[in-house]
């Protein structure tokens, strides 16, 4: 079964009178449980594509179907509901809420799902990523690697069917990067979560089952290992 179907997807940004076509009729399907990476030069549209697939933004043309639901016909609230239900997202720059502690950041998706055990579950997730003793720390009191691990705990919280990660190991030292890689790959092993990783790290891409190369907003190659 396809967890994600992308069909003739285009994204045009308008800046003043200039139009910039960032994605140009991109199509591909991802099967449930697949591990794929999206690679390509800077500015080729990878982050834009990931955001559209995860329902963070809407396309100019074409469609994205996630778990059988067409995101293109939904409004922002409806897309947010699908995200809360099925999607985990790891941002390149973590995007933790600065006024919340590590624990409270991880609690956000659990509270959206009205989980009564949100606090206990969030603490368990922090322990899973090795940060049980940092629960009361605010993001500014954490290193980059620790912030990324909190963002991973948050992305895991709703037990997503599909996890999108934008340069999850970018800006991190090798040891922290390897730890983060393991956490992400273990989610696939343990829960069968589909993984879609944007990365410029070709070693990381080589560990995935399929690599989609993007250039100038078009798919250049879609290679299965
Ligand atoms: P990548 O992730 O491959 O580096 P992006 O998807 O971030 O590429 O960006 C692709 C292009 O779209 C870049 O030229 C970028 O400047 C442009 N872009 C991204 N977001 C916006 C936006 N919100 N408004 C206008 N242009 C944008």
What is the 72 CA–ligand 1 centroid distance (Å)?
20
Q: What is the pLDDT of residues 162-185, one digit of tens each?
A: 999 999 988 788 888 999 999 999
pLDDT value of position 93: 87
* Separation between Cα atoms, residue 164 and residue 36, nearest integer Å: 10
CA distances from 14 to 7, 11, 157, 224 (A): 22, 10, 35, 35
| Domain assignment of residue 89, given as a range | 2-224
What is the 119 CA–ligand 1 centroid distance (Å)?
37
pLDDT value of position 32: 97
User: Is ligand 1 within 6 A of the CB of residue 79?
Assistant: no
Specify the ligand 1 atom closest to the Cα of 15.
25
Q: Give the DSSP letter string of 7-42.
A: EEEEEEEEETTEEEEEEEEEEEEEETT-EEEEE--T
What is the 43 CA–ligand 1 centroid distance (Å)?
6
What is the 60 CA–ligand 1 centroid distance (Å)?
14
pTM: 0.94
Domain count along the chain? 1
Of the residues 13, 57, 164, which should be mutated to test ligand 1's pocket, given the most ligand atoms within 8 Å of the CB? 13
pLDDT in tens, the chain (225 residues): 899 999 999 999 998 899 999 999 999 999 999 999 999 999 999 999 999 999 999 999 999 999 999 999 999 999 999 999 999 999 988 999 999 999 999 999 999 888 899 999 999 999 999 999 999 999 999 999 999 999 999 999 989 999 999 999 887 888 889 999 999 999 999 999 999 999 999 999 999 999 999 999 999 999 997
User: Is ligand 1 within 6 A of the CB of residue 45?
Assistant: yes
User: Is ligand 1 within 6 A of the CB of residue 22?
Assistant: yes
CATH number at residue 51: 3.40.50.300
Query: How high is the ipTM of this complex?
Result: 0.97
User: Is ligand 1 within 6 A of the CB of residue 43?
Assistant: yes
């Amino acid at each position: 079964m396809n967890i994600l179907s992308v069909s003739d997807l285009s994204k045009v940004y308008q800046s003043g009178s200039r139009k910039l076509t960032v994605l140009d009729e991109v199509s591909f399907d991802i099967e449930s449980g697949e591990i794929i990476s999206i690679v390509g030069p800077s500015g080729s549209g990878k982050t834009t594509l990931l955001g559209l697939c995860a329902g963070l933004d809407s396309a100019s043309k074409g469609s994205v179907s996630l778990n059988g639901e067409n995101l293109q016909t939904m409004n922002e609230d409806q897309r947010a509901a699908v995200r809360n239900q099925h999607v985990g997202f790891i941002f390149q720059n973590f995007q933790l809420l600065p006024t919340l502690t590590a624990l409270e950041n991880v609690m956000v998706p659990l509270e959206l799902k009205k989980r009564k055990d949100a606090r206990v579950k969030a603490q368990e997730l922090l322990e899973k990523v090795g940060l049980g003793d940092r629960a009361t720390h605010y993001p500014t009191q954490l290193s980059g690697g620790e912030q990324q691990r909190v963002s991973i705990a948050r992305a895991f919280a709703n037990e997503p069917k599909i996890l999108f990660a934008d340069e999850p190991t970018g800006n991190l030292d090798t040891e922290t990067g390897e730890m983060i890689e393991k956490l992400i790959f273990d989610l696939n092993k343990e829960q069968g979560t589909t993984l879609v990783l944007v990365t410029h790290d070709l070693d990381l891409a080589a560990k995935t089952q399929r690599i989609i190369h993007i250039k100038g907003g078009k798919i250049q190659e879609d290679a299965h290992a």
